[in-house]
Amino acid sequence: MPGQADTPAAKAGAGDKISRVGVIGAGQMGAGIAEVCARAHVDVLVFEQTRELAAAGRARILRSLDRGVSSGKITEREREQAAWRLRFTSDLGDFADRQLVVEAVLEDEKVKTAIFAELDRIVTDPRAVLASNTSSIPIMKLGMATKHSERVVGMHFFNPVPVLPLVELVTTLMTSTEVSERAESFARDILGKQVVRSADRSGFVVNALLVPYLLSAIRMVESGFATVEDIDKAIVLGLAHPMGPLALSDLVGLDTIKAIADSMYEEFKEPLSSPPPLLLRMVEAGRVGKKTGHGFYQYPASGRPSAK
């Protein structure tokens, strides 16, 4: 590969450090994770169930790379090289040579535990790291689905992944120090992210604080306390957040917020973590936010969001 000797992966010592990554799922988080890995000169293999989903995932990543070019974050050449490093498969067996796998499928504990059990059989290198980008499911539950729970960690990225610099690293009572250090070094030294460590508690640090706040904003709308637009305006102008809680809920996805709330409520039984009926109805209606074009706001295929 041209110029590879200068790449961050090569500088870090590709023999020992992670240079072959697998990402499971090319939805908004999986695509973002695959993109930042490819931009960091890492060889990336992405699993999607069908050719159609793989094509949609690739298109999502290419759009984001285009945005990186148009906003001056990366050059045309870097865009091309990153796209070239991304391969897709619908056979998890192809992950046998991966040194790190990041699972980023929907927030469903059964689906995730089945994936971890299968990955454990496929990826036999004892030094390989098996990571989940789960937003809230305790990592121990995923580790215990494997025979090698010492290899399992949480690596929780934030949306949009190419823009937000944080990774929460979650280790369990079973995770080995070597595995947690490899995962941390990959996120920090190869991807250039900043890492905070969190105990293995549902929601970890960020969502444990964020989700009760988002649910409170949804309850405000539900009770007629204030409008969607005024709540968001108040937070943007009054607290200097980049976006208000309802726009942010749309960005994260209301289905994801419900799944996180369910998981946190199951763990802590805090009323503030219980999903309000308006959230449940919107999820049932398929109005889950930006990814479906309709949530608290409407998102035309192109252009700015508008009120519901």
- Catalytically active residues are 135, 156, 168, 207
Identify which of 30, 292, 60 has the alpha carbon closest to the alpha carbon of residue 161. 30
Closest approach, Cβ 127 to ligand 3HC, in A, equals: 27
Instruction: Give the span between the Cα atoms of 190 and 185, in whole angstroms.
Output: 7
Closest approach, Cβ 164 to ligand 3HC, in A, equals: 6
Is 110 buried (19+), middle (13-18) or exposed (0-12) by CB count in 10 A? exposed
Site size toward ligand 3HC (CB under 6 A) is: 19
Closest approach, Cβ 32 to ligand 3HC, in A, equals: 8
Residue from 19, 132, 135, 175 that binds ligand 3HC (CB under 6 A)? 135
Identify which of 116, 99, 9 has the alpha carbon closest to the alpha carbon of residue 45. 99
Residue from 47, 88, 158, 265 that binds ligand 3HC (CB under 6 A)? 158
The pair of structure tokens assigned to 245 is 């809680």
Binding-residue pattern over the window 174 to 213 for ligand 3HC, x denoting contact by CB under 6 A: ---------------------------------x--x---
Neighbours of 129 (CB within 10 A): 26
107 contacts 138 by C-beta, under 8 angstroms? no
Residue 300 in the binding site for ligand 3HC (CB under 6 A): no
Which CB, 2 or 72, lies closer to ligand 3HC?
A: 72
Neighbours of 96 (CB within 10 A): 13
Closest approach, Cβ 135 to ligand 3HC, in A, equals: 3
Closest approach, Cβ 80 to ligand 3HC, in A, equals: 15
**Neighbour order of strands in the sheet with 194-198:** 86-89, 43-47, 20-24, 100-103, 129-132, 152-157, 166-170, 194-198
Which CB, 164 or 196, lies closer to ligand 3HC?
A: 164
Closest approach, Cβ 163 to ligand 3HC, in A, equals: 4
The pair of structure tokens assigned to 167 is 């990774």
Which CB, 190 or 248, lies closer to ligand 3HC?
A: 248
Instruction: Give the span between the Cα atoms of 3 and 272, in whole angstroms.
Output: 52
Residue from 33, 44, 252, 264 that binds ligand 3HC (CB under 6 A)? 252
Q: Which residues pair with 168 in a beta bridge?
A: 156, 196
Which CB, 20 or 79, lies closer to ligand 3HC?
A: 79
The pair of structure tokens assigned to 244 is 């208000």
DSSP alpha helices (H): ranges in 132-253? Answer: 139-143, 177-185, 204-223, 228-239, 245-252
Residue 160 in the binding site for ligand 3HC (CB under 6 A): yes
Instruction: Give the span between the Cα atoms of 293 and 281, in whole angstroms.
Output: 16
Which CB, 61 or 152, lies closer to ligand 3HC?
A: 61
Structure-token match 């070239």, residue found: 84
Residues 56-115 that bind ligand 3HC (CB under 6 A): 64, 67-68, 71, 73
Binding-residue pattern over the window 209 to 248 for ligand 3HC, x denoting contact by CB under 6 A: -x-------------------------------xx----x
Residue from 7, 89, 113, 159 that binds ligand 3HC (CB under 6 A)? 159
Classified as helix, coil or strand, 75 is coil
Q: By the criterion CB under 6 A, which residues form the site for ligand 3HC? A: 64, 67-68, 71, 73, 135, 158-160, 162-164, 207, 210, 242-243, 248, 252, 256
